[in-house]
């Protein structure tokens, strides 16, 4: 709600008046390997679409444990996966590798 719903909507289908793409059911959030998704949440997305503002990164404002929870929430709620077990340690590793 605080960090994501302003662009993506509470239900993941994006705000009606924003030109953001829906993130519901994306293959990128259903992958077994979650590093790319964690990277998008930590560092933002440049954007394949011509949207403004672009997705910001959250690694400065949101703790690794919270990013892990958000990642798991996105995968289960919008990805339709039965479960997701990204940990704070996974997030810390991705942030180290990608920054
Ligand atoms: C300022 C608007 C904005 C905010 C805030 C925002 N996003 Fe995004 N997000 C975008 C845009 C724009 C894209 C599309 C990037 C593209 O074109 O692939 C995107 C893409 C995504 C994707 C798809 C990435 C992919 O690789 O396919 C996911 C998942 C996502 N956002 C999750 C989140 C989460 C979780 C949060 C909150 C922690 C968040 N977003 C906050 C704008 C936003």
Per-residue pLDDT tens listing for the chain (99 residues):
989 998 899 999 987 777 777 899 999 999 999 999 999 999 998 766 666 678 899 999 999 999 999 999 999 999 999 999 999 999 999 999 988
Q: Which residue, by CA, sits nearest to atom 22 of ligand 1?
A: 23
Query: Which residue of 45, 48, 73, 77 sits with most ligand 1 atoms within 8 Å of its CB, as the best mutation to test the pocket?
Result: 45
Give the pLDDT of residue 48: 60
Q: Which regions of the chain does DSSP assign to beta strands (E)?
A: none
Q: How far is the CA of 32 from the centre of ligand 1 (A)?
A: 19
Report the DSSP beta bridge partners of residue 55.
45
Give the pLDDT of residue 63: 98
Helix (H, G, I), strand (E, B) or coil at 67: helix
Q: Which residue, by CA, sits nearest to atom 11 of ligand 1?
A: 55
Give the pLDDT of residue 51: 62
47 lines ligand 1 (CB under 6 A): yes
The number of the ligand 1 atom at minimal distance from the alpha carbon of 73 is 35
Fold assignment, 5-98 = Cytochrome Bc1 Complex; Chain D, domain 2 (1.10.760)
> What global pTM score does this model have?
0.93
DSSP 45: B
């Amino acid at each position: 709600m605080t960090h994501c719903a302003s662009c993506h909507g509470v239900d993941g289908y994006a705000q009606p008046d924003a030109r953001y793409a829906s993130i519901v059911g994306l293959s990128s959030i259903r992958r077994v390997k979650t590093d790319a998704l964690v990277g998008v949440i930590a560092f933002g997305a440049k954007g394949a679409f011509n949207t403004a503002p672009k997705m910001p990164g959250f690694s400065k404002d949101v703790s690794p444990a919270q990013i892990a929870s958000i990642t798991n929430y996105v995968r289960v709620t919008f990805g339709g996966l039965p479960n997701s077990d990204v940990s704070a340690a996974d997030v810390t590793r991705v942030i180290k590798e990608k920054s």
